């Protein structure tokens, strides 16, 4: 786990230095001039990868399918409403309605799927281990370190969607 964390810190340091030079170079609206919010590291059978929160623009441009098949299958098992990926995950929660004074069920849009740093890192590991005999069969076999905020190195909790997707407690 320590080597995984070290790799992540190094990646963030590299990213920060890249950002500085990008900004100095001037305006380029097609390029990202900001740090990704979160970074995460994933490991399986000696393969270590780092990932960053990202939006789907890159995925479309590079014509890379946003998820490796294992993630798609897992998503499909969990929620059959997901027809198009990346899509939005809806969830319902009981909330207290101030106007009526009752507890009601309300539908929330949680977040975009496929934009988390964990998705990015897991995709990278699955891609790297694709041709291995001992490739992961289930997503819960992947090991994650805490996701970090790239600006401050502050550890955050894994989000609800990733917790569900990667079966982490």
Partner 1 sequence: MYSHKYQLTHDMDCYFNLNGFPIHIATNGGLVPDSLGTVGELQEIQRLVTQIDATQAYELNREYLSRLDGNSFPTQEEWNEFELDLPARFSVFDERDYELPFHWLLYSLSFVENARKGFFSFDRIATTWAGYDIYQLIAWPKSFHLSNSLNVGNHFRLKDCDDYYCGSVKCWPLVQMLKDAELRG
Binding site residues, partner 1, CB under 8 A: 2, 5-6, 9-10, 13, 16, 20, 23-29, 32-38, 53-57, 111-112, 115, 149-156
Closest approach, Cβ 28 to partner 1, in A, equals: 7
CA distances 43 to 8, 75, 80, Å, are: 11, 20, 28
Strand partners, 91: 108
In terms of CB distance, is 18 or 132 closer to partner 1?
18
Closest approach, Cβ 146 to partner 1, in A, equals: 9
In terms of CB distance, is 98 or 133 closer to partner 1?
98
In terms of CB distance, is 138 or 155 closer to partner 1?
155
Sorted by sequence, the CB contacts under 8 Å of residue 68 that are 6+ apart come out as 122, 123, 126, 127, 130
In terms of CB distance, is 27 or 133 closer to partner 1?
27
* Sign of the dihedral through C-alpha 154, 155, 160, 162: positive
Sorted by sequence, the CB contacts under 8 Å of residue 112 that are 6+ apart come out as 55, 56, 86, 88
Closest approach, Cβ 91 to partner 1, in A, equals: 17
Closest approach, Cβ 32 to partner 1, in A, equals: 7
87-120: buried (b, 16+ CB within 10 Å) or exposed (e) per residue? eebeeeeeeeeeeeeeeeeeeeeeeebbbbbbbb
Closest approach, Cβ 26 to partner 1, in A, equals: 5
């Amino acid at each position: 786990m320590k080597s995984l964390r070290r790799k992540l810190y190094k990646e963030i340091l590299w990213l920060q230095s890249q950002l500085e030079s990008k900004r100095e170079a001037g305006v380029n609206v097609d390029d990202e001039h900001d740090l990704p919010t979160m970074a995460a590291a994933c490991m399986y059978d000696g393969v270590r990868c780092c990932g960053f929160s990202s939006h789907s623009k890159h995925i479309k441009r590079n014509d890379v399918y946003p998820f490796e098949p294992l993630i798609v299958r897992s998503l499909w098992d969990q929620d059959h409403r997901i027809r198009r990926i990346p899509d939005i995950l809806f969830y319902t929660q009981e909330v207290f309605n101030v106007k009526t004074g009752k507890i009601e069920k309300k539908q929330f849009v949680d977040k975009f799927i496929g934009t988390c740093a964990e998705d990015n890192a897991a995709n990278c590991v699955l891609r790297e281990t694709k041709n291995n005999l001992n490739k992961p069969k289930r997503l819960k076999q992947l090991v994650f370190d805490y996701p970090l905020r790239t600006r401050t190195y502050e550890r955050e909790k894994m989000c609800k969607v990733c917790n569900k997707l990667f079966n982490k407690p």
